[in-house]
């Protein structure tokens, strides 16, 4: 069952006051275990579930709704579904304690929404790890995968130690510490980004991280540090696959996705110039165009159900 949750975030574009973005209203859906999950969805056609990175929420996909708005590139051919994973954004915790558990949670969210047909799973970074586990654990629920600014490999010992250290500091001083440590690293370096867009994006990311519960950050850091190497599993993926990475991504650099492209059959790779770790937010037109062409050419076979731009 879905109901509107208490509002948390204005739906107006702060850079264009008074001009509403085509962002749908959020809904609450309840999982079989009682956790209430915030989800936005819009459009009709092939379901595409959008999974956010760490420690963010579904609003990182605000630039993708125009794809399914009237006249958009996927108008009438895709239904976008963007949840907040448990404990993140406005969703109830507890946060799943492993990436595999998060993948099972996504299936539970789709079930709660009554979406039983195979979906395209698209995830950024942590969301991309979840997509890999979906492909390994629930291939029957998928018809395509999109891995964005992510990687197949497990953490190095140094990266794992860094997560333990960050978790301890967040436990002592709060989510602010995670915002300070992570927000500046998520975007392409300042020198590459012109105008005020970068600082507005960084502020937005910082606010989202600061609003995340300490327990969620700490549980997710442990899950991220414990995640297995998925390289061997990925050699068995047979779904249409799109890999996207920002050319300036300093967290999961293009080499990570180049290695993934070498092992995943049917994978195509797009390196987006000028973007860091948050490609869908940093350059929505470039990301959207690539996602739309992948879906149209390799996933969507049925023609649009209504003419472009029709009400």
Q: How far is the CB of 7 from ligand MLT (least distance, A)?
A: 25
Written as six digits, the tokens of 16 are 């264009």
Q: How far is the CB of 251 from ligand MLT (least distance, A)?
A: 5
DSSP 12: B
Written as six digits, the tokens of 238 are 């047979």
Give the DSSP H or E segment for 238: none
Interface with ligand MLT (CB under 6 A): 53-54, 125-126, 224, 251
DSSP 66: G
Q: How far is the CB of 186 from ligand MLT (least distance, A)?
A: 7
Among 220, 260, 223, 215, residue whose Cα is nearest residue 242: 260
Residue closer to ligand MLT by CB (options 73, 221) is: 221
Among 52, 54, 217, 234, residue whose Cα is nearest residue 133: 234
Q: How far is the CB of 130 from ligand MLT (least distance, A)?
A: 10
Which H, E and C letters describe 271-297, residue by residue?
Answer: EECCCCCCHHHHCHHHHHHHHHHHHHH
Instruction: Tell me the helices (H) and strands (E) count for the chain, helix number first.
Output: 10, 9
Q: How far is the CB of 161 from ligand MLT (least distance, A)?
A: 13
Among 243, 259, 27, 276, residue whose Cα is nearest residue 131: 243
Q: How far is the CB of 93 from ligand MLT (least distance, A)?
A: 17
Give 187's contacts (C-beta < 8 A, 6+ positions apart). 193, 198, 201, 202, 205, 276, 277, 278, 282
Residue closer to ligand MLT by CB (options 46, 134) is: 134
Residue closer to ligand MLT by CB (options 48, 126) is: 126
Cα dist. 275→248, 267, 280 in Å? 6, 21, 9
Q: How far is the CB of 151 from ligand MLT (least distance, A)?
A: 8
Q: How far is the CB of 226 from ligand MLT (least distance, A)?
A: 12
Rounded Cα distance, 165 and 211, in Å? 20
Residue closer to ligand MLT by CB (options 75, 248) is: 248
Q: How far is the CB of 99 from ligand MLT (least distance, A)?
A: 10
SS3 category, 38: strand
Which H, E and C letters describe 172-208, residue by residue?
Answer: HHCHHHHHHHHHHHHCCCHHHCCCCHHHHHHHHHHHH
């Amino acid at each position: 069952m879905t109901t509107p949750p208490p509002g948390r975030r204005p739906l107006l574009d702060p850079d264009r006051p008074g001009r509403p973005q085509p962002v749908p209203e959020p809904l609450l859906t309840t999982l079989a275990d009682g956790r209430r999950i915030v989800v936005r969805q819009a459009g009709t056609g092939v379901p595409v579930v959008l999974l956010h990175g760490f420690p963010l929420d579904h609003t990182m996909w605000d630039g993708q709704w125009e794809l399914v708005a009237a006249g958009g590139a996927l108008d009438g051919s895709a239904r976008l579904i963007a949840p907040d994973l448990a404990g993140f954004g406005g969703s109830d915790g507890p946060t799943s304690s492993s990436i595999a558990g998060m993948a099972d949670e996504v299936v539970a969210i789709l079930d709660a929404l009554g979406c039983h047909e195979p979906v395209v799973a698209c995830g950024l970074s942590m969301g991309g790890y979840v997509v890999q586990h979906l492909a390994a654990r629930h291939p029957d629920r998928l018809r395509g995968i999109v891995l964005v600014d992510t990687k197949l490999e497990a953490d190095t010992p140094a990266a794992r130690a860094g997560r333990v250290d960050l978790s301890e500091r967040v436990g002592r001083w709060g989510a602010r510490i995670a915002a300070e440590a992570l927000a500046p690293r998520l975007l392409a370096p300042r020198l590459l980004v012109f105008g005020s867009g970068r600082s507005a994006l960084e502020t937005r990311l910082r606010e989202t991280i600061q609003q995340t519960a300490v327990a969620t950050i700490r549980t997710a850091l442990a899950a991220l540090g414990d995640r297995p190497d998925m390289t061997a599993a990925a050699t068995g993926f047979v779904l249409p696959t799109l890999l996207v990475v920002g050319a300036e991504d300093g967290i999961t650099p293009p080499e990570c996705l180049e290695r993934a492209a070498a092992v995943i059959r049917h994978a195509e790779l797009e390196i987006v110039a000028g973007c860091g770790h948050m490609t869908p937010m940093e350059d929505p037109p470039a990301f959207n165009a690539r996602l739309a062409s992948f879906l149209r050419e390799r996933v969507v076979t049925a023609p649009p159900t209504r003419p472009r731009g029709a009400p």
